């Protein structure tokens, strides 16, 4: 069965950096595009970034463009999100999600990122 | 990338039908048949309920159905059950400002 397990969350100061990882199993990771989606405490879902199955194209929400970088290592079945210049408004649970049918068909359990001094 | 507009809350009694709307623009909902719907229970990850406007993934109850007219998509839950109480989000592929995806503002469904 499909499993997505995020890690790397934690508390970081404003202006700091953090790298999230998402370990995938149960499907052919190298054949699917992948997303990062976040949810601030008590708020709705916000799409963050997408990477094609082969890493050839990447797309970002305006709110993170230039600060976040999505990447993947298909040999390790792992998705990454490098987050730099973090701000208080980046505080959220970050989910990785698999793309199919132009939808987010499987989600991880999420990892919490808190940006605070 | 402005969020799609959903009603903040919708309620219904067990057995009734409810409909949640999701309004966007011609750059997202109206321009593509790539609208999807998600159910999220408190403290849990979202679950895909509908993809490509009206298709149900395997395992999702046929009480859930989707449709679209112009720039507005809709999710209908028929035969409302207690376990349907959750937050629901729509999403669409978008070509506005940058290619990507956009979510709706979310709707809290309460079973009375």
Residues of A in contact with B4 (CB under 8 A): none
Cβ B100–A59 below 8 Å, yes or no? yes
pLDDT of residue B2: 84
Average pLDDT over residues B25-52: 96
User: Strand, coil or helix: what is B93?
Assistant: strand
Cβ B46–A107 below 8 Å, yes or no? yes
> Per-residue confidence at A104, pLDDT binned at 50, 70, 90?
very high
Q: Using CB atoms within 10 Å of the CB of residue A62, give its burial: 0 to 12 exposed, 13 to 18 middle, 19+ buried.
A: exposed
Closest-CA distance of chain B to residue A109, Å: 6
Q: Which two tokens stand for residue B1?
A: 């990338």
- Measure CB to CB from residue A50 to each of B48, B100, B104 and give the nearest one: B100
CA torsion A1-A97-A95-B21 (nearest 10°) is -110
Mean pLDDT lowest for which of B19-23, B68-72, B92-96?
A: B92-96
What is the H or E stretch that residue A32 is in? Answer: none
With an 8 Å Cβ cutoff, is B45 touching chain A?
A: yes
Calculate what percentage of chain A has a pLDDT beyond 90.
98
- Please check whether residue A92 is in contact with residue A9, taking contact to mean a CB–CB distance below 8 angstroms: no
- Measure CB to CB from residue B103 to each of A45, A106, A108 and give the nearest one: A45
- Measure CB to CB from residue A45 to each of B52, B89, B97 and give the nearest one: B89
Q: Single out the residue of A65, A59, A5, A64 nearest to residue A29, CA to CA.
A: A5
- Mean pLDDT taken over chain B: 95
Q: Single out the residue of B2, B13, B27 nearest to residue B85, CA to CA.
A: B13
Average pLDDT over residues A9-13: 97
What whole-number distance in Å separates Cα of residue B81 and Cα of residue A10?
37
CA torsion B95-A100-A25-B42 (nearest 10°) is 80
pLDDT(B25) > 70: yes
Calculate what percentage of chain B has a pLDDT beyond 90.
93
Q: Which two tokens stand for residue A115?
A: 């940006």
Write out pLDDT tens, residues A34-84: 999 999 999 999 999 999 999 999 999 999 999 999 999 999 999 999 999
pLDDT(B99) > 80: no
Cβ A44–B89 below 8 Å, yes or no? yes
Bridge-based pairing of strands B86-94 and B35-40 is antiparallel
> Per-residue confidence at B1, pLDDT binned at 50, 70, 90?
low
Q: Which two tokens stand for residue B25?
A: 């623009």
Average pLDDT over residues A3-17: 97
């Amino acid at each position: 069965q499909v499993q997505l397990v995020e890690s790397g969350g934690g508390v970081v100061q404003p202006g700091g950096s953090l790298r999230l990882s998402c370990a995938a199993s149960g499907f052919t990771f190298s054949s699917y595009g992948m997303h990062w989606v976040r949810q601030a405490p008590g708020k709705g879902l916000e799409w963050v970034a997408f990477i094609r199955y082969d890493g050839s194209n990447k797309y970002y929400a305006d709110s993170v463009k230039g600060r976040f970088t999505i990447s993947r290592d298909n040999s390790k079945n792992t998705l990454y999100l490098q987050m730099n210049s973090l701000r208080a408004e980046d505080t959220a649970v970050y989910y990785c999600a698999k793309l199919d049918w132009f939808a987010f068909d499987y989600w991880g359990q999420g990892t919490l990122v808190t940006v605070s001094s | 990338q402005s969020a799609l507009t959903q009603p903040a809350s919708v309620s219904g009694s067990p057995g009734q039908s409810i409909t949640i709307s999701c309004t966007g623009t011609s750059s997202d909902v109206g321009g593509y048949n790539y609208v999807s719907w998600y159910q999220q229970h408190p403290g849990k990850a979202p679950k895909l309920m509908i993809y490509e406007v009206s298709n149900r993934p395997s395992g999702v109850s046929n009480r859930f159905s989707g449709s679209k007219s112009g720039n507005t998509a809709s999710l209908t839950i028929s035969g409302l059950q207690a376990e349907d109480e959750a937050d629901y989000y729509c999403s669409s592929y978008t070509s506005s400002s940058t290619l990507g995806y956009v979510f709706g503002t979310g709707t809290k469904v309460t079973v009375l």
